[in-house]
Structure 1
């Protein structure tokens, strides 16, 4: 039997409880999940690539125990389908918060299917408790000294506090 390999792409800047929710669900769908951090030269992230890798690995180890070994963090630039092919993934995981996400993601899935029919897009709905969380809002709240602990794992909350203290 062939391993089911999935790719779950995002900026993860920072990793939120919503991302974690989708990662957990993706472990039920795939044997191996690549958390693929998109690198865009035009965007200046709050956390470096290395910091995001460290946070994802640290939080995954705490949250998923032995299953954390089934999550590998990688970077990609360019098209997600090219990264998926390079990594041997046959599944592209997309998290959905609401209908707006669904409309956008359906368009992307259609375009991706035309370019890469061998790849299957799998939509995973976010749990109700994390549907409102976005990394953008988390960064904004943290930058103004607000409490982000309800929205991110503890190590991420600490990393955000450190970022905005300095």
Structure 2
């Protein structure tokens, strides 16, 4: 069984993330969505909320395609998470050259720690390349329309959360 790991903070999950998830599912038999604890990013949604959001958004995709999707929170090194879930492939989405610079360094470090785990890069669909969770949150905070960047359920949760802050 080919197991892939698609890690991220998913704060919140966007249509860009969903695009990568749908295309990654073609490559693996099981896709694990690793929801990272990243205290440096100070997420808007707590870990449990992000796990629930990702699970809700991915369940219909898994049912439609027949590919198994598991949502797995993690707070350790990415390479350790990959080992924990039995992944042989780490899936990363790229939006722009700036993403590649960071990802290139990460691949080198991960390969130094475990050369048996491969990293695969998927380019975001052209319509989704500008979408970043950080920017979506900023647009929502400033009263902009985020409906082109997230699903309706995520939009509802996001707008409710930014009103609270």
State the TM-score, normalizing by the size of structure 2: 0.93
Mapped pair 1:52 → 2:35: no
Q: Return the alpha-carbon distance in structure 1 between the equivalents of residues 86 and 57 of structure 2.
A: 25
1:49-108 Cα offsets, whole Å, 9 max, x none, are 121122112212344534376111111112100010011110000101111111221221
Map of 2:120 onto structure 1: 122
| 2:5 equivalent among 7, 22, 33 | 7
Deviates more, 1:55-64 or 1:10-19: 55-64
Counterparts in 2 of 1:102-117, with a 5 A limit? 102-117=100-115
List structure 1 segments (4+ residues) > 2 angstroms apart after TM superposition: 40-44, 61-69
Q: Return the alpha-carbon distance in structure 2 between the equivalents of residues 118 and 60 of structure 1.
A: 27
Q: Return the alpha-carbon distance in structure 1 between the equivalents of residues 25 and 67 of structure 2.
A: 11
Map of 1:159 onto structure 2: 157
Structure 2: tracts of 5 or more residues without a match:
none
1:162 to partner: Cα distance: 1.1
Map of 1:75 onto structure 2: 73
- Note the aligned Cα RMSD (angstroms): 1.5
> Contact 2:25–2:67 at 8 Å: present in 1 too?
no
> Contact 2:9–2:38 at 8 Å: present in 1 too?
no
Q: Return the alpha-carbon distance in structure 2 between the equivalents of residues 98 and 164 of structure 1.
A: 28
Mapped pair 1:85 → 2:83: yes
Map of 1:137 onto structure 2: 135
> Contact 2:33–2:71 at 8 Å: present in 1 too?
yes
Q: Return the alpha-carbon distance in structure 2 between the equivalents of residues 50 and 152 of structure 1.
A: 19
Structure 1: tracts of 5 or more residues without a match:
none
> Contact 2:82–2:88 at 8 Å: present in 1 too?
yes
Q: 1:28 aligns to what SS in structure 2? A: coil
State the TM-score, normalizing by the size of structure 1: 0.92
Q: 1:148 aligns to what SS in structure 2? A: coil
Task: Figure out how many residues of one structure are paired with residues of the other and give that number.
Answer: 164
Map of 1:27 onto structure 2: 25
1:16-70 Cα offsets, whole Å, 9 max, x none, are 1111111111101111111111113444311121211221122123445343761
